[in-house]
Structure formats: C-alpha cells, structure tokens
Amino acid sequence: MNNRLVFALPLAAVLAFPAFAQTTAASDQSQPAATTTQSTSSDTATGKAPLQVQSREGFWGHLNPFARRSYVKRQTEPIRDRVNELDELTAGNTKAIKDTDARAQAGIKLASDKADQADQHAVDAANKATAAQQTAQQATARVQTVETVVGNIDQYKASNQTEILFRAGQSILSKSAKDALDTMASTVKGQHGYIIEVQGFSSGRGQTAITNSQKMAESVVRYLVLQHEIPVYRIYLVGMGNAPTADEATKTKRSSGGRVEISLLKNDLEQLSANAGAPVTSADQAQQPK
C-alpha cells in the first residue's frame, strides 16, 4: 500500500504540471489584452491594430507538447482572420488596378483615334489647299491668255495677198482670177479672227476711175460671198480709182489698167482662243511670274 502511494504521488505531480503550465499561459495571454492599451494605428493594410507579441511565456514556452485543440485554435484564429482580410484586400486592390488600367488604355486609345482623325483632317486640308492653288494658277493662266487675246484682238497682220487683173473698162472675173480667189478662200474656211480687204484700182481720172474700181472690187466680193459663203461683215471694200500705190522699191506709181488687190488679214484670235481652252501644263506654270 505504501509503495503504491509512493509511485502515485510523483505521477500525479507530473500530470498536474502541464495543466498548471497551460493555465498559466492562458492567464498570461489574457493579461496583456486586458491591461495593455491596443494601438488603433491605420498604418496596417487592413486598418486594424497589429497583433500583439506575447511578452510572457508559459511554463513550456511557445511549444507546449500538451496543448489542447481549443488552445491551438484560439491562438491561430486571429492570424487566420488577418490572412483572410489581407487576401480580400489584395483581391480588391488587384481589381481596382485592373479597372484603372482598363480606363487608362481606353483613354489612350481614344486619344490615339483623335490624333489619327486630326492627322487625316490635316492631310485633307493640305490636299484641298493644293487643289485650290492649282485652280488659282489655272485661272491666272486663263486670265493672262484672255488679256492677251483682248489686247491683240484688233492687231491684224497680213498673211496672204492676191492681185486680180482686169481689162480696161471690164469687171468680169477670168478663170485665172477665180482660181486665185478659190485658193485664198480655202485658207479661211471654218476659221475666225480674220478680215479680207478688197481694194480696186482703175485707170482714168476722177469719179469715173473710182466707179470703175469699185465695180471690179464688187465683182470680187460677190464671188467670195456667193461661191465660198464668206460673211459680208468680214470683207472691207474700197474703190481707190487711180490712186497711186507703192511698189516693192517704195516708188509710187499709178495704175495703168484695172486691178484689184485682195489682202487676207488675221489677228491670231483662233489660236489664242485654242490656247485659252487648253489645259495648263507644268511648263506653262513654270513660265508664270512668281
């Protein structure tokens, strides 16, 4: 009996020590929470006070080989809660970063589209300005051509001259005279900017010579109008009588028989008009004054 007590007492003491140590550790852990003022600093990620470090240890230290499940759970629950809060905060921050990045990308794309649109408008404006400049240059060339046409519209130059001879006192055209008139009329068919000057010369004196010269000139005009349909307003007729004329040696002489001089005068109006209607080339633009 005494032997059993001897062995039972030490065994009971050994079994009581862990319970006492665990109780002491639990009381030590509750004391800082009750006595120590916890910080409510907002410097942490969760905005809560940081976990307090154990200032005192139990009998077995941090490692208690005889700790119960409730004790371990009570020790790890604050850590698990903080980890969960950090995970939620990290997820929220990640979502906010993604939203901010998406908005930034959308803004960058919108700005790029606006810049491309502005560049296209600038290119269109440059093309329109170039077209307007070309149109202005063409208009300037047309105006210059028209000014040249108007300035030269009454500047007639002799391009062809024919002489028709008549017998004294006659006004009938011979075959050779008709052939000469046909040749001249063929050069002006369908053209513009020309006039035909018909001057009649006759031998004799005074009004008789003027009348005879006018009759010969009228026979020429009649042939041109009826046979070649030359408008009358393009023909100018003058009966010069026995007026003196200048020969090639610039010596004046009087006509000794019937004679009609036909002069074809042109002012290059048709050629200038054709140039005015022609498109302006790069060579024409290069010749324009700067």
Q: What is the pLDDT of residues 87-116, one digit of tens each?
A: 888 898 999 999 999 999 999 999 999 999
Q: What residue ranges do the domains of the chain occupy?
A: 156-266
Residue 248 has pLDDT above 90, yes or no: no
> How far is it, in rounded angstroms, from Cα 242 to Cα 4?
187
Residue 123 has pLDDT above 90, yes or no: yes
Residue 280 has pLDDT above 50, yes or no: no
Query: What's the farthest any 2 CA atoms get from each other in the chain?
Result: 198
* Higher pLDDT, residue 120 or 247: 120
Tokens standing for 221? Answer: 């005009």
> How far is it, in rounded angstroms, from Cα 254 to Cα 155?
29
Q: Give tens-digit pLDDT for 1-57.
A: 566 666 666 666 656 555 555 555 445 444 444 444 444 445 666 667 766 655 555
Tell me how crowded residue 113 is: count the other CB atoms within 10 A of its CB.
10
* Higher pLDDT, residue 174 or 27: 174
The CATH classification number of 156-266 equals 3.30.1330.60
140 CA to centre of own chain? 22
Res. 283 pLDDT band, cuts 50 70 90: very low
Q: Give the pLDDT of residue 244.
A: 76
* Higher pLDDT, residue 201 or 280: 201
> How far is it, in rounded angstroms, from Cα 261 to Cα 222?
15
> How far is it, in rounded angstroms, from Cα 30 to Cα 122?
77
Q: Give the pLDDT of residue 33.
A: 43
Res. 219 pLDDT band, cuts 50 70 90: very high
> How far is it, in rounded angstroms, from Cα 243 to Cα 252?
10
> How far is it, in rounded angstroms, from Cα 174 to Cα 179?
9
Q: Calculate the average pLDDT of the chain.
A: 75
186 CA to centre of own chain? 52
Residue 198 has pLDDT above 90, yes or no: yes
Give, as one character, the DSSP assignment of residue 233: G
Tell me how crowded residue 70 is: count the other CB atoms within 10 A of its CB.
8
- Beta strand spans in the chain (E): 157-166, 194-201, 235-241, 245-246, 252-253, 258-266
| Mean pLDDT score, 140-168 | 76
- Give CB contacts under 8 A, 24+ apart, made by 79-83: 79/51, 82/46, 82/48, 82/51
Residue 286 has pLDDT above 80, yes or no: no
Q: Is the dihedral of CA 48, 49, 50, 51 positive or negative?
A: negative
Q: Give tens-digit pLDDT for 220-235.
A: 999 999 999 999 999 9
> How far is it, in rounded angstroms, from Cα 95 to Cα 108?
20
> How far is it, in rounded angstroms, from Cα 234 to Cα 197?
8
> How far is it, in rounded angstroms, from Cα 27 to Cα 37?
17
Q: Give the pLDDT of residue 288.
A: 44
Q: Give the pLDDT of residue 12.
A: 66
Tokens standing for 33? Answer: 């929470």
User: Phi first, then psi: what are they for 157, rounded to 5°?
Assistant: -125, 140
